[in-house]
Structure 1
Amino acid sequence: MNITERFKFFTQKADNIVISTHIIPDADGIGSEIALCLALRSQGKNAICVNEEPLLERYRYLDPDNTVISRSEYMSFYAEAEIDLFIVTDTNSLERIGDGMKAIALTAPSLLFIDHHPCPKEVMEENCIDTSKAATGELAGELIQSLGIPLNREMALPLYTAILIDTSSFRYPTVTGNTHRLIGSLMDTGVRPPHAYNMIYGTKKLTYMKLLGKVLASAHTTKDEKVAWLTLTEDLLEKFHVDTEDTLAFINHLLVLDNIKVALMFREMGAEIKVSLRSIGTVDVGIMARALGGGGHDHSAAAIIKGTLDSVIKTTVDKLHEMLLMTEAKELAKGHS
């Protein structure tokens, strides 16, 4: 059974469907769940999106029909409702959707992950997971089309935004002709790229520009310039009154550097440091992130490490630079063999 057949099998036999995504959701998870919910409702399904926390105000424009509610709202109004199918978008682990949502998911007789992140083979074989897709939104769009459901603008804007965000405006190597063909279909519904871009990235305050300048001024590289990194402290976020969500793309500014192979951003989160990793596609940063206890794609990944900013930066940069040099040495040896 392929992915589209599996999706049809699970959704056709279900009437009451709950769709969720990971905690601290991004536009890919949110856009995918909204579009899937609207598509399934168009088939007469009783579908609803339920996340651990309420939808952030910055994403409200993607959900004019209020398909997304919080777990607390669900427990207040739907606690006794029967669930036939529980769908999770943009992750393949129940541990990532929050303890409360996990408890709800475990009451459903059927569970289906719709995702594009790497996972064990046995998980992939039982769900709708395709790591070749540029975004979960791309997969969600194709699954909707596989049911013969016409895309409308209400579905298309969340999907377009999902793909836009998860590809850093279509710059990652996972973007394919099929990605753009789906984008064409989404635009045919009336989605306008300038509007979609401005709505998700938003117009910025001067404080945002000043913070970006401050963070870029913290840029460092290894001597060979193959690894570059930025730092973002809690003090800076507080001083400039900038939402953390607005800083996620800061790291992409490093990808234009000469000789760059791996870009890093270290962000303080209390006693932990979030390490974001990016590459231009020639280095698998997913493997590097897993070596740090995290995970992700070959071009975009992350890990969370306990420790002080200075200590985490030093140990992480040293470790990843060594991994990079070892990988390059192996590739060079292959070329000479």
Structure 2
Amino acid sequence: MTRNIDRFKKLIEKANNIVITTHIFPDADGIGSEIALCMALRKLGKNAICINEEKLFDRYRYLDPDGVITNYNDSKDYFDKIDLFIVTDTNALPRIGKNVQELVLKSSELLFIDHHPCPKEIAAIHCVDSTKAATGELVGELIEALGVKLDKKMALALYTSIIIDTSSFRYPTVTGNTHRIVAKLMDTGISPPQAFNQINGVKQVEYMKLIGKVLSSCQMSPNGKVAWISLTEEEIESFGCETEDTHGFINHLLILEGIEVACMFREVGDKVKISFRSVNQTVDVGVIAQALGGGGHNHSAATIIDGNLAKVIPEVIEKIELMIE
């Protein structure tokens, strides 16, 4: 990874017009990483901006006090020529959106900064380290490598990316290095309770009722190794909640005794998004998701399948049972 960091520093040194983006449906890790990196590059005098496929969700706007994030429609002509195009929290161009991909053609250099598994050929020339608990952890190291002092605004973005992508430090990818980076972020003066509350938001009673309804739908396989929940778009809407509010529901299953794989099936139009979590490292849900057309980490992964809940759930559960046996 030292060689990759050296290449990163050289690319930054010779670039002036720099565009940063993340995947098309960004989470706090992708957003926090691109914001903090953009802030750091601007401190170096670089002409840097974050251009995402879509506008930033309102719930994440507090992470961007300097307004470094814009969207494709509002900024597609921001640069005539891009010296460096950086993609955070994914190493696959199709995931950044059809429109933003066009900006790659205007760029002299492309760099992925990510912690998801990828082919060794990609990892060889990009900043991809799957041992990191979050892309935010890696970005924190890269900012330090540039000689930029982390400030409170960068720290809040990176701390938030790490607590979300580790489910508050619950995942097996969390290491001593993760906490060493977190210690440096906290030294800037950020408040962990405030950071946690800001990203998770203050909920209404309807949110609690939705959790109750969803968790009451919990089912387990006959052997007790697979547990799952499901929810429809109608349920989310009827309780006045947003899809973003439901992402953590699956983590409630991790406390169930004896399970090895937790799943959440969520209706998305005429498709079903399936999130996977593994309770221990004996089952690689990244491989399970890949077998079903998706991907991810060994402890957290997802896929999207055509069909409705009634059809998809039994088919997928049967396949998971076969795979873990």
TM-score grouping bracket, smaller chain normalisation: over 0.9
After TM superposition, give the deviation of residue 281 of structure 1 in Å: 3.0
Pairwise mapping of residues 242-253 of structure 1 onto structure 2 (< 5 A)? Answer: 242-253=241-252
After TM superposition, give the deviation of residue 295 of structure 1 in Å: 0.2
| Alignment deviations for residues 149-205 of structure 1 (CA, whole Å, 9 cap, x no partner) | 110001100000000100000000000000001000000001110000000001100
Tell me which amino acid in the other structure corresponds to 2:26: P
Is 1:277 the equivalent of 2:276?
Answer: yes
In structure 2, stretches of 5+ residues that fail to align are none
Structure 2 SS opposite 1:122: helix
Aligned residue for 1:192?
A: 191
Tell me which amino acid in the other structure corresponds to 1:98: G
Aligned residue for 1:120?
A: 119
Distance (Å, rounded) in 1 between the aligned partners of 2:3 and 2:214: 45
Distance (Å, rounded) in 2 between the aligned partners of 1:161 and 1:286: 23
Distance (Å, rounded) in 1 between the aligned partners of 2:60 and 2:141: 22
| Alignment deviations for residues 33-82 of structure 1 (CA, whole Å, 9 cap, x no partner) | 0000011111111111110111110000000100001111103x61x532
Aligned residue for 2:31?
A: 30
After TM superposition, give the deviation of residue 96 of structure 1 in Å: 0.7
| Alignment deviations for residues 64-118 of structure 1 (CA, whole Å, 9 cap, x no partner) | 100001111103x61x532100000000011011111000112101000000011
Aligned residue for 2:311?
A: 311
Q: Runs of at least 4 residues of structure 1 off by over 3 A?
A: none
Pairwise mapping of residues 97-112 of structure 1 onto structure 2 (< 5 A)? Answer: 97-112=96-111
Structure 2 SS opposite 1:25: coil
After TM superposition, give the deviation of residue 3 of structure 1 in Å: 2.3
After TM superposition, give the deviation of residue 148 of structure 1 in Å: 1.6
After TM superposition, give the deviation of residue 293 of structure 1 in Å: 0.4
Q: Percent identity?
A: 59
Structure 2 SS opposite 1:47: strand
After TM superposition, give the deviation of residue 276 of structure 1 in Å: 0.3
- Is the Cα contact below 8 Å between 1:172 and 1:281 reproduced in 2? no
Distance (Å, rounded) in 1 between the aligned partners of 2:50 and 2:191: 25
Distance (Å, rounded) in 2 between the aligned partners of 1:279 and 1:94: 27
Pairwise mapping of residues 125-274 of structure 1 onto structure 2 (< 5 A)? Answer: 125-274=124-273
Tell me which amino acid in the other structure corresponds to 2:248: A
Aligned residue for 2:72?
A: 71
CA-atom RMSD, angstroms?
A: 0.9
| Alignment deviations for residues 253-276 of structure 1 (CA, whole Å, 9 cap, x no partner) | 000000010000000011100010
After TM superposition, give the deviation of residue 298 of structure 1 in Å: 0.1
TM-score by length of 1: 0.94
State how many pairs are aligned. 323
Distance (Å, rounded) in 1 between the aligned partners of 2:226 and 2:42: 47
Structure 2 SS opposite 1:2: helix
Aligned residue for 1:293?
A: 293
Distance (Å, rounded) in 1 between the aligned partners of 2:4 and 2:177: 16
In structure 1, stretches of 5+ residues that fail to align are 326-337
Structure 2 SS opposite 1:49: strand
Aligned residue for 1:2?
A: 3
Structure 2 SS opposite 1:254: helix
Is 1:90 the equivalent of 2:89?
Answer: yes
Distance (Å, rounded) in 2 between the aligned partners of 1:318 and 1:53: 36
